[in-house]
Amino acid sequence: MKTKVGRTCSRNRVGIVGLAVIALLVCFAAAPVEAAGLLKVKGQGDDGLSIRSHQASVVIDNGFARTEVDQVFANAAATDLECFYTFPLPKQASLSELSLWIDGREVLGEVVEKEKARKIYEEEKAKGNDTALAEKNDYKTFDILVGRIPARSEARVRLVYYQPLEIDMGVGRYVYPLAEGNVDDNRVPFWDVADKVDSGLQFHLELKSAFPVKECRVPGFEQVAAIQPVTGAEGERGHFTVDLNLAEGARLDKDVVFYYRLDETVPARVELVPYRATPQEDGTFMVVVTPAADLKRIAEGSDWVFVLDKSGSMSGEKIGALADGVARVIGKMSPNDRFRIITFDSRAADFTGSFVPATEANVKEWTGRVRQLQGDGSTALFDGLTLGYRCLDADRTSAVILVTDGVCNVGPTEHSAFLKLLRSYDIRLFTFVIGNSANQPLMERLAKDSGGFAMNISTGDDIYGRLIQAKAKVLNECLHDVRLKFHGEKVYDLAPAALGNLYYGQQLVMFGRFRGDGPVQVELAAKISGEEQTWTCTAELPQQDTDNPEIERLWALARIDDVMEEIREKGESNGLVKKVVDLGVDYSLVTDYTSMVVVREEVFENQGIARNNAARVSRERQAQAVRQQAPARNYQVDNTPANPPGGAFRGLPAPSIGGGSGPVGPAFLVLLAALGLARKRRE
């Protein structure tokens, strides 16, 4: 039975904004230097290992990004050494390539079960042979081990990962994660991080968009990032390059965030990116829906609850950043709004005691008190969230802002416990996660199950621009109970399995498999204020299309994510683990149960490991070379003669920030002031 909210509430308020929880994992660039890099046991001094060079190359095209990280590790010691490198886990990333140069030649890794991969690596390392290993450390990091860096020599390692990218209110965003999230209680006290790059850091990004791009931005690197449009044929207004070169001794301690803003004329649309190797094989696709719907502004007044983490991991500059952020939010409220502050460390407490009207005097008083908070103790995240749910007024639209660095070490920590708490309240939950290595799986699951949304925020983001995007979602109606249907028997194995709600400016991204070819009807169904609505179009499934073989890996990763949700909620079972292992091995993906190992060719043969990934990478690189020479391909499918004029959304433009504002344009602060972060406007 659902629990009613409010001290004396007789009914629950469902369907307007409900409970909005924004999880801001505050770990700003000004925090103590923790970063991606070599890990060394603390207290053992310099062992001679260093990062000689670090080069990152990114291509954004067709709705997904390919990131290649090429590094050289140097060993100044008189003996061979093992290298242990950590890399923050990017959101929805599939680590698909690990290469080690052996005898001057690139050798690609293959994926096997995790225990087997580690056993092979340790055996080859013990023999003094060249070997490397890539493992996934839960939701936190990719860990790369190189078994032997020769004395007074070096070793070259490359990793490649793919990830789908979404447009939010006309703004695309890519994050190259480098800042350490500082959320691993065991790793942080054990290791020192060597994050300097001897010869500097080189970062190159190429954006190819089929739709016109108005502007690009790399916040925090404006003085050193070279952003150039690539001139060419008409239709290439979406082609840009970004080059960022940091000097000798650069540190890998700050995320690189790239924004691009589409033109306001870009239409709402349905795009379908297919891959099919031959007519005899089944195909794979990624579908991206950018809807335009009449989502009215919510005019009711708002109550805002701040749930603030003041545990020991938030001490120092983190707690200062927390206080500054809360002060800015409260300072933008209308005097008719109210706020309430909950704090938690080893336990949760009601800091304000009740809701406080957001008058000028109250804002000044309570922001001053927040600035005096000191970080100490453990982190009772469950208790803080529980208290945030209580005592809401059922007659007012409510939002709760949870500010934490994501550590959860007191009280319940299992997904099932948080899900049980959430299901006791018929209220939406909105999560914002800032910083790397945070518990994205938990935050996203809670948001989706409650009908809310999740938004991750990097330490390098335009924070207030991201809040503008969130504000438009929270204060507008949304598409409820979203379903994407493919009529006919050609489409199967869709992922993700559950879609949840779709908010203003959001895109829907789904993967699937298909058999046969020819037309298929695509239908987006959803409810707006309880009224069922549908949008349809006809897409064409090809007999053969070899432009984007990477889509197969992204589909497999989406399927793995669905299975991992079950495992995190219900626990491991042989059947669920086998599903992850089979998908990881078949599509060469590093997962919680599979790893990628690099050994000499004869060792692969002796171990009976087929070179499936080498063959897959060969296909992908051939396709990438072809795409490199061509303009960005437009995959919109609802604009063909088989569809009504204007497509599925009647020619309406896609929702956007527009007007040079938002996190990209220079006017985004003006827009923030106009909106007021929690200001309600009566209509």
pLDDT (tens digit, 9 = 90+) per residue, 313-339?
A: 666 655 665 666 677 677 777 777 888
End-to-end CA distance of the chain: 35
Q: Are 306 and 358 in contact (CB under 8 A)?
A: no
| Residue, of 311 and 536, whose pLDDT is higher | 536
CA atoms within 13 A on the CB side of 421: 22
The answer on pLDDT for 12 being more than 70 is no
Distance CA 336, CA 476 (A): 19
Instruction: Give the SS3 label for residue 89.
Output: coil
Position 401 scores a pLDDT of 74
Asked if residue 231 has pLDDT above 50, the reply is: yes
Pair 156, 240 in one domain: yes
Residues 250 and 357 in one domain: no
Residue 93 Cα to chain centre, angstroms: 8
- Evaluate whether residue 533 is within a structural domain: no
Same domain, 73 and 222: yes
Please indicate whether residue 572 or residue 315 has the higher confidence score (pLDDT): 572
Looking at residue 364, its pLDDT comes to 86
Least-confidence region, from 252-266, 301-315, 503-517, 612-626:
301-315
Judge contact between 456 and 440, C-beta under 8 A.
yes
Domain span including residue 67: 37-262
Residue 15 clears pLDDT 50, i.e. is over it: no
pLDDT of residue 527: 92
The CATH number of residue 130's host domain is 2.60.40.1170
Residue 52 in contact with residue 199, Cβ under 8 Å? yes
pLDDT of residue 628: 92
Could you tell me the pLDDT band of residue 82, with boundaries at 50, 70 and 90? very high
Are 647 and 267 a contacting pair, CB within 8 Å?
yes
Residues 237 and 342 in one domain: no
Q: Count of CB atoms within 10 A of residue 574's CB?
A: 7
Q: Is residue 602 part of a domain?
A: no
Question: For residue 200, what is the enclosing H or E element?
Answer: none
Domain end, chosen from 233, 262, 291, is at 262
Better pLDDT: 679 or 170:
170
- Over residues 180-207, the mean pLDDT reads 76
Give the CA radius of gyration of the chain.
25
In the structure, what pLDDT confidence band is assigned to residue 118 with cuts at 50, 70 and 90?
very high
344 falls within a domain: yes
Residues 346 and 209 in one domain: no
Residue 242 has pLDDT above 90, yes or no: yes
For residue 338 the two structure tokens come to 């109210």
Residues 124 and 222 in one domain: yes
One domain, residues 319 and 253: no
What span, in angstroms and rounded, lies between the C-alpha atoms of 270 and 288? 6
DSSP 352-417: SSS-EE--HHHHHHHHHHHHT----S---HHHHHHHHHTT--TTSEEEEEEE------SS--SHHH
Say whether both 253 and 310 belong to one domain: no
Domain assignment of residue 288, yes or no = no
Q: Based on DSSP, count helices (H) and strands (E) in the chain, helices before strands.
A: 13, 35
User: What pLDDT is attached to residue 679?
Assistant: 31
d(CA 403, CA 384): 10
Domain end marker among 262, 278, 294: 262
Q: What angle separates helix 381-389 from helix 415-423, to the nearest 10 degrees?
A: 10
Whether residue 73 is found in the same domain as residue 157: yes
pTM equals 0.84
Question: Does position 32 have pLDDT exceeding 60, yes or no?
Answer: no
Can you give the pLDDT at residue 683?
A: 31
Dihedral through CA 500, CA 505, CA 506, CA 512, nearest 10?
Answer: 110
Is 273 in contact with 285 (CB distance < 8 Å)?
A: yes
Provide DSSP, 212-247.
-EEEEE-TT-TTTEEEEE---STT-TTEEEEEEEEP
The residue among 31 and 227 whose pLDDT is bigger is: 227
Tokens describing residue 640: 């063909």
On the question of pLDDT at 10 being above 80, the answer is no
Residue range 66-84: mean pLDDT, rounded: 93
Q: 8 pLDDT exceeds 50?
A: no
pLDDT mean across residues, the chain: 82
| 165 belongs to a structural domain | yes
pLDDT tens per residue across span 445-481: 777 777 777 667 666 666 656 666 666 776 678 888 9
Q: Is the pLDDT of residue 115 over 90?
A: yes
Single-letter amino acid code for the residue at 443: M
- Is it the case that residue 653 has pLDDT exceeding 70? yes
Is residue 264 within 8 Å of 490, Cβ to Cβ? Answer: no
161 closest CA partner among 94, 227, 224: 94
Where is pLDDT greater, at 422 or 56? 56
pLDDT in tens, 357-408: 988 899 889 888 888 888 788 878 888 888 888 877 777 777 777 777 666 6
Reference 262, options 274, 271, 249, 250; nearest CA is: 271
71 and 176 co-located in one domain: yes
**For tokens 């991204």, what's the residue?**
509
CA distance linking residue 601 with residue 609, whole number of Å: 10
Report the DSSP pairing between strands 302-309 and 397-403: parallel
Say which CATH number the domain at 323 has.
Answer: 3.40.50.410
Residue 66 phi, psi (nearest 5) = -110, 125
The Cα 260–Cα 170 span in angstroms is 8
- The pLDDT value recorded for residue 109 is 98
HSE of 25 in the Cβ direction (CA atoms, 13 Å)? 28
User: pLDDT per residue over 592-631, tens digit each?
Assistant: 999 999 999 999 999 999 999 999 999 999 999 999 999 9
- On the question of pLDDT at 664 being above 50, the answer is no
Question: Quick one: 245 and 343 in the same domain?
Answer: no
What average pLDDT does range 162-168 have in this prediction?
Answer: 90
Number of domains comprising the chain:
2
In this predicted structure, the answer to whether residue 16 has a pLDDT above a threshold of 80 is no
Position 667 scores a pLDDT of 36
CA angle 550, 553, 558 (to 5 degrees): 130
Is 481 a member of any domain? no
Region 495-509: mean pLDDT is 89
Going by C-beta distance under 8 Å and a sequence separation of 6 or more, which residues neighbour residue 34?
179, 180, 182, 188, 193, 253
- Quick check: 156 pLDDT over 90? yes
Whether 25 and 181 have beta carbons less than 8 Å apart is answered as yes
**Per-residue pLDDT at 548:** 97
> E strands along 44-149, which residues?
49-61, 64-75, 81-88, 94-102, 105-108, 110-113, 132-137, 141-149
Query: What is the reported pLDDT for 68?
Result: 97
The domain boundary, picked from 211, 242, 262, lies at 262
What is the per-residue pLDDT for 417?
83
How high is the pLDDT of residue 129? 96
* 49 within 8 A of 138, measured Cβ to Cβ: no
Average pLDDT over residues 147-164: 95
Predicted local distance difference test score (pLDDT) of residue 327? 72
Q: What is the C-alpha separation between 346 and 413, in angstroms, rounded?
A: 13
Q: Letter for the amino acid at 628?
A: Q
Query: By three-state DSSP, how is residue 618 classified?
Result: helix
CA proximity to 418, closest of 445, 454, 394, 451 = 445
Of 247, 237, 244, which Cα lies nearest the Cα of 217? 244
Residue 254: strand pairing partners: none
pLDDT of residue 4: 35
Question: pLDDT above 70 covers what percent of the chain?
Answer: 78
- In this structure, are 221 and 319 located in the same domain? no
Q: Is residue 342 part of a domain?
A: yes
Residue 607 lies in a domain: no
